[in-house]
Structure 1
Amino acid sequence: MPVEFQTTDQLKDYYRNWISVYKEGAIRDVTLAKYWMSLSWIEKLAPDLELCDVTRVVYQQIINEYAKEHERQTTMDFHHQLKGAILDAVDEGLIPVDPTRKVIIKGKAPSGKKTKYLNQFELHTLLKNLKLGEKVNWDWFILLVAKTGMRFSEALAITPGDFDFAHQTLSVSKTWNYKDGGGFAPTKNKSSVRKIQIDWQLVMQFAMLVKDYPVDTPIFVTKERVYNSTVNDILERYCQKLEIPVISVHGLRHTHASILLYAGVSIASVARRLGHASMTTTQKTYLHVIQELENQDVDLVMRSLANLT
């Protein structure tokens, strides 16, 4: 039986119903959780605010209060999640004028934490010390993520059928819902559906490793529930033993991208390989790497100009 949209008087009630009607079942659970979190902030910041009283000033005050405890990008996300419902309320005549127009996004200064990744020598040290036997283990998982840059959930969902050994590609078209008990799930976004070119050595290794595995069965998922922390603990022990920076599985993804950028691979190619929705995401995530490369470019330009005598 379809859910009917209810007209309500308060912003928090309207937003709650709006999420239920327009977002539940239409977006991934992890994204839906962000909308429910935004609702909890509305309940905290404007518990008694009437929908008809949401003016530009009132809306800006809500954004300002949220920004006091969050960075600017997080505040921007909150604004976008709330704005969709507000504009629908305007279309329905429940709010006379768009209160989100010309909103000013503020926020705390970014923490300044650098993305954790290994350099090429450190990654080589890690990979050559992995225990890669004849049977699948988490060391093989670490190798695959390091060489493809896949997200944790994407790598968990990989089946033997996703490999095209003849053309040296690996298809990413799904994820594994490890947080909620397992099962295949959609990718993070449409751009995440992609083919990743893999090197001949990885082709030979995995062709032998998965030859007797069912084509459509995840390679790394057993009957036991999978936890991100399991692989992170293995990685941490390796890093400590080898005296290299301690990184997480997600840090392997950052390592993969950083090494490609330092090697001169274009931002557009790295973005496609990682499954980013846009190059902007890649640029923001690896700004420190890009800035370092730009500094090297400046030095190269200056040396080139100096030789023009």
Structure 2
Amino acid sequence: MASFRKINGKWEYRVRYKEGSKYKEKSKRGFKTKKEAQLAAAKVESDIVQFGFSDNGEENVKKFIYDWLEVYKKPIIKPITYSVQERNVRLNIIPRWGDYKLKEINRTDYQKWVNEISEKYSAGTVKRIHSLMNAALHSAVHDFHILYSNPIARIKIPQDNKQEEIKHFTTEQLKTFLSNCKPVKKSKYKHSIQYFALFTLMARTGIRIGEALALRWGDLNTDSIKINKTLVYPLNSTPYLSTPKTKNSIRTVKLDKTVVDLLKRHKINQKEMYLKYPSFKPSDDDLMFHQHDGRWLRTNVVREYFKEVCKRTQLPVLSPHALRHSHAVHLLEAGASLKYVSQRLGHSSIKTTADTYLHITEKIEDDAIKMYQQYLD
């Protein structure tokens, strides 16, 4: 119900309404005539009937999106996923939109911003950033009821015309790398073959670094390993075990004889290390790979060791994830089917595999056409 009064020659309206279990009031003054005040009050009452609220996006974007992350996202996603989303909000969304009110987000300005960050990031990264912002504003409309409509719904993400390079080792580079994954002369634990075993396992199975570091000896069967967990080691935080990246990532990976024999050697080598070095302690959790004190290997330490080997051997300085790419590329080049490679890597779909290794699958297709032509001719 609206009420009106005249103050110092100007008209004011007051609209009292119920939101949830509480009564609220919205008012505005400064109208020249009562008729103008009545028309404005009628618009407010109409909005309340239609939307259930009268304020339209007065909230600050920074405060709203952090509240949204905390209330709507954190309880239902993995901690590592939350940390990635929080980082995208903090480093990309807040610097550009943090000082705006929700109602001030303009579709054209937002599209210009998306176009700008597309010059800096890959299309996949831009989609992830936009997806966060879009989901937050969707909640502002449908969950928090503080915005009438989502101004960035169905925004256009520029196509990424450049093929993202898949960094991997050739077969010769891989041989060079693995043959140098041994302790250097000044190493404290010169007898260890742990890194050689770890990187060989990753290179010949395609498992992720977190999946490898989470392995226990009980996960090893005669000629396969069970992948049902991953180690998450946040920077400056406590490590923990989590479920693998996707549902399809829970899998059993077959091992070739080279890997089986090496893991047997590694298990014996571990016991030798316990006897040879008093400071090298066994793992209470029966870990396949661990620090000298028995705890999980730190992912950042593994990455640094990997880079040092690359530098020492004058190979391209890559990351441990390059071993996963190398395995996939080598399998495809050897003639393995896309479906087999997808299942072995634990991808969510064959499309993921095909999109990731597009340049390789195109080469395989070209080779197949040449072979077919040679066969007919």
TM superposition score normalised by structure 1 = 0.81
Distance 1:67 1:241, change over 3 A: closer
Q: Secondary structure of 1:106's partner? A: coil
Deviation, 1:88, is: 1.9
Q: Secondary structure of 1:258's partner? A: helix
Aligned with residue 348 of structure 2, among 253, 256, 277: 277
Q: Deviations over 1:140-187 (max 9, x none)?
A: 11111111111111111100111122xx22111111223334332332
Give the Cα separation in 1 of the matches to 2:373 and 2:256.
36
Residue 33 (structure 2) aligns with: none
Conserved? CA contact 1:169–1:195, under 8 Å: yes
Residue 241 (structure 2) aligns with: 184
- Counterparts of residues 14-33 of structure 1 (less than 5 Å): 14-33=64-83
Give the Cα separation in 2 of the matches to 1:34 and 1:175.
16
Aligned with residue 86 of structure 1, among 115, 131, 137: 137
Aligned with residue 104 of structure 1, among 142, 150, 156: 156
Residue 288 (structure 2) aligns with: 219
1:140 is the counterpart of 2:223: no
- Counterparts of residues 25-104 of structure 1 (less than 5 Å): 25-40=75-90, 41-54=92-105, 56-57=107-108, 59-92=110-143, 93-104=145-156
RMSD: 3.2
Give the Cα separation in 1 of the matches to 2:252 and 2:67.
39
Distance 1:101 1:240, change over 3 A: closer
TM superposition score normalised by structure 2 = 0.68
Deviation, 1:104, is: 0.8
Give the Cα separation in 2 of the matches to 1:302 and 1:295.
11
Deviation, 1:108, is: 7.0
Distance 1:171 1:57, change over 3 A: same
Amino acid at match of 2:118: A
5+ residue gaps, structure 2: 1-56, 184-189, 272-281
Q: Secondary structure of 2:120's partner? A: coil
- Counterparts of residues 142-221 of structure 1 (less than 5 Å): 142-165=199-222, 168-179=223-234, 180-207=237-264, 209-210=266-267, 216-221=285-290
Deviation, 1:37, is: 2.9
**Aligned length, in residue pairs:** 297
Deviation, 1:138, is: 1.3
Residue 4 (structure 1) aligns with: none
1:256 is the counterpart of 2:327: yes
Conserved? CA contact 1:169–1:198, under 8 Å: yes
Give the Cα separation in 2 of the matches to 1:145 and 1:105.
35
Conserved? CA contact 1:160–1:215, under 8 Å: no
Give the Cα separation in 1 of the matches to 2:307 and 2:59.
52
Structure ID, larger Rg:
2
- Counterparts of residues 120-131 of structure 1 (less than 5 Å): 120-127=171-178, 131=182
Give the Cα separation in 2 of the matches to 1:264 and 1:245.
26
Q: How many percent identity over aligned positions? A: 27
Distance 1:259 1:68, change over 3 A: closer
Conserved? CA contact 2:283–2:290, under 8 Å: no
